[in-house]
């Protein structure tokens, strides 16, 4: 009996570890500390340690150690509950979830709703409350459909569990493994510094270089990991620029909170990480949630290249606007040139040394996988009709496991020790979201909701899309974008059909909008990391973010109405046969 108790305790502890890992990717438990990375033997543009230490006290939060005051300032310390504190919000959610479940399950069945649909509605209420309140570990909450749906008669276990093996779960798994290999061999840092070196010049162009590098990496690896990598580099650049400005006697205030270059650079990294994520299916979870729900409810596949044809132009336009807005309007940069700016980036790149064989091999695999994702739809589908983007992702991961670095010592580009850091909790969260979507579809709940929304039929398309974008953006400001998209997707699908619209009109719109929340640290992990560095204050982020939010509402609405129908070849004002 004691052995069973110990096993259960160990498993429960592991679930909380997955919970924290999932929050690190989705929920903003970060502290982006900056650690000085200087060397004594550098070019003339590099300040002395004494000069740098003296100036750092007024330029960086916490001086040379960069310990920020914006976040929790605790390095690896997690949220309060990690230290044994169970918050009132969690306690409330722990009881509120089951209470709502039983109220909805035992109340008289609404007219036109099947008992199975009522069971899915009640179960979803419980799941949503526990997701939002984090009453138990997020991955554990995501397993509730496996228990609640069969016990309430909504769906059988054999019908629920395939959602956790959805092909998009394996797409993300393969993508995570490739990203881990890039991080293991420092390839992501080399790519970032090379892009900055190519684009950078004056202060505005260096910010653009940082933003382009951040956005590009966020297309392929976690925007959380990208932001955490770029933040210390940016803080080093800010300090270096402050020293050079002092030497040149420029009339520029470099103190913390007043240095426009530094503020624009840090916010640019946070915003471009979110913007870059919308470009690909694996860039940010809401994109995959959209594709998974479409597949679960309608049996339709959203290909990698198909999504990029919509996501990349949006990301490009948003990135250019964001850069211009931050450097010319929100935080106007008055100095145009600064000696030594490029030299600093060059020095950081030289520290990496020449590209190693391991980096080169990972780069080959990464480039090959990206290429196959892009051409699968029109080049490989006829040769391998059963192949999906997930097949390519897992193939790339397996190549990394099988490509030796040193065969005699059994060392490979990727091993299972490195993969232990893979965010398994997010994969379970995806499965739970897809299971809920499947319950909406198979129980008839989606159809029932659609019939209740027919009063909206005939409303102006512009007004509907704008309202959906606004709702998703501002809802994401206060909760996880993954949880928001998971809850919104089935509702948007039913709402679109009820109004006689193509489901993609509202579903793709809401998915994109969930990544365009820029006002608050809690909105996205990149916002939280930059805020946690202590360099950015909430008022600064809110003032800049509100205009970015407004821009997001405008650009997503315009592209949804006028670009999406053309590039995807769909009629937004009619319901396709497969959605009826």
Is residue 569 predicted with pLDDT exceeding 60? yes
Beta strands, E only, 444-564: none
The tens digit of pLDDT for each residue in 444-454 reads 887 787 667 66
Buried b (16+ CB within 10 A) or exposed e, 368-384: ebbebbeebeeeeeeee
pLDDT of residue 401: 94
Q: Are 549 and 518 in contact (CB under 8 A)?
A: yes
| The two three-digit tokens of residue 477, written as one number | 């400001």
Spatial distance between the Cα atoms of 203 and 238, rounded to a whole number of angstroms: 10
pLDDT at residue 324 in the model? 94
- pLDDT of the residue at 29: 35
pLDDT in tens, 481-513: 777 787 788 888 888 888 888 999 899 999 999
Which residue did the predictor score with more confidence, 528 or 439?
439
pLDDT over 70 (residue 456)? no
Q: What is the crossing angle of helices 285-298 and 167-184, to 10°? A: 160
Residue 139 has what pLDDT?
A: 84
Angle at 542 between CA 69 and CA 230, to 5 degrees: 55
Contact 536, 258 (CB under 8 A): no
Do you know the residue count of the chain? 580
**402 — pLDDT class (breaks 50, 70, 90):** very high
Distance, C-alpha 548 to centroid of its chain: 17
Strand-pair partners of 411: 406
Q: Are 255 and 58 in contact (CB under 8 A)?
A: yes
Question: Cβ contacts of residue 433 below 8 Å, gap of 6+?
Answer: 142, 289, 292, 293, 482, 486, 489
Distance CA 442, CA 440 (A): 6
CA distances from 575 to 488, 498, 499, 505, 579 (A): 19, 9, 9, 10, 6
Compare 431 and 80 and report the one with higher pLDDT. 431
Burial letters 407-425, b for 16+ CB under 10 A, else e: eeeeebbbeeebbeebbbb
Cβ atoms of 317 and 558 within 8 Å: the answer is: no
Element (H, E) at 405: strand 404-406
Neighbours of 30 (CB within 10 A): 25
What is the C-alpha to C-alpha distance for residues 61 and 262, in angstroms, rounded to an integer?
A: 12
Tens digit of each residue's pLDDT (9 = 90 or more) over 304-329: 888 999 999 999 999 999 999 999 98
pLDDT (0 to 100) of residue 385: 79
Task: Determine the average pLDDT of the residues in 13-32.
Answer: 51
Kindly tell me the number of DSSP H helices and DSSP E strands found in the chain.
26, 2
- The model's pLDDT over 57-74, given as tens digits with 9 standing for 90+, comes to 556 665 544 444 443 332
For residue 392, pLDDT beyond 60: yes
d(CA 75, CA 365): 33
Core vs surface per residue 293-320: b (16+ CB within 10 A) or e: bbbbbbeeebbbbbbbbbbeebbeebbe
pLDDT at 305: 85
The residue that leads in pLDDT, 84 or 206, is: 206
């Amino acid at each position: 009996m004691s052995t069973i108790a110990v096993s259960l305790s160990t498993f429960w502890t592991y679930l909380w570890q997955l919970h924290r890992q999932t929050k690190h990717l989705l929920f903003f438990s970060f502290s982006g500390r900056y650690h000085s990375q200087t060397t004594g033997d550098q070019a003339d543009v590099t300040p002395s340690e004494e000069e740098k230490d003296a100036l750092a006290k007024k330029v960086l939060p916490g001086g040379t150690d960069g310990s920020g005051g914006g976040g929790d300032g605790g390095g690896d310390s997690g949220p309060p509950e990690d230290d044994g504190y169970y918050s009132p919000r969690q306690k409330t959610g722990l009881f509120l979830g089951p209470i709502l479940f039983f109220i909805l399950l035992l109340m008289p069945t609404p007219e036109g709703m099947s008992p199975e649909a009522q069971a899915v509605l009640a179960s979803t209420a419980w799941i949503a409350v526990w997701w939002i309140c984090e009453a138990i570990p997020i991955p554990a909450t995501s397993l509730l459909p496996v228990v609640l749906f069969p016990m309430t008669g909504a769906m059988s276990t054999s019908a629920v569990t395939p959602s956790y093996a959805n092909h998009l779960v394996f797409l993300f798994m393969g993508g995570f493994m490739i990203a881990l290999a890039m991080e293991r061999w420092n390839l992501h840092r080399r790519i970032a510094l090379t892009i900055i070196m190519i684009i950078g010049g004056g202060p505005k162009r260096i910010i653009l270089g940082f933003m382009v590098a951040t956005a590009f990496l966020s297309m392929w690896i976690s925007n959380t990991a990208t932001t955490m990598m770029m933040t210390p580099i940016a803080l080093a650049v800010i300090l270096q620029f402050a020293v050079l400005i002092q030497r040149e006697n420029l009339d520029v205030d470099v103190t913390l909170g007043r240095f426009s270059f530094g503020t624009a650079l840090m916010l640019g990294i946070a915003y471009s990480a979110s913007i870059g994520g919308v470009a690909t299916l694996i860039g940010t979870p809401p994109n995959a949630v959209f594709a998974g729900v479409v597949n679960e409810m309608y049996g339709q596949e959203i290909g990698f290249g198909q999504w990029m044809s919509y996501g990349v132009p949006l990301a490009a336009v948003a990135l250019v606007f964001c850069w211009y807005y931050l450097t010319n309007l929100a935080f106007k940069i008055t100095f145009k040139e600064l000696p030594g700016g490029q030299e600093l980036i060059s020095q950081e790149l030289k520290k990496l040394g020449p590209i190693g064989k391991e980096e080169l091999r990972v780069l080959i695999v990464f480039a090959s996988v990206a290429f196959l994702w892009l051409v699968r739809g029109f080049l490989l589908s006829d040769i391998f009709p059963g192949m999906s983007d997930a097949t390519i992702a897992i193939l790339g991961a397996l190549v990394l496991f099988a490509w030796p670095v040193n065969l005699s010592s059994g060392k490979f580009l990727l091993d299972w020790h490195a993969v232990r850091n893979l965010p398994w909790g997010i994969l379970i969260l995806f499965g739970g979201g897809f299971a809920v979507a499947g319950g909406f579809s198979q129980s008839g709940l989606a159809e029932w909701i659609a019939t209740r929304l027919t009063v909206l039929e005939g409303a102006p398309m512009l007004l509907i899309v704008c309202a959906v974008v606004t709702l998703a953006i501002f809802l994401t400001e206060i909760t996880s974008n993954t949880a928001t998209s998971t809850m919104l997707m089935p509702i948007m699908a039913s709402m679109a059909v009820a109004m006689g619209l193509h489901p993609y009109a509202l579903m793709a719109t809401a998915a994109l909008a969930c990544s365009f929340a820029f006002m608050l640290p809690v909105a996205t992990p990149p916002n939280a990391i930059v805020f946690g560095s202590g360099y950015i204050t909430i008022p600064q982020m809110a003032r800049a973010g509100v205009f970015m939010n407004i821009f997001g509402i405008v650009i997503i609405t315009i592209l949804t109405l006028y670009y999406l129908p053309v590039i995807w070849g769909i009629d937004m004002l009619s319901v396709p046969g497969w959605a009826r």
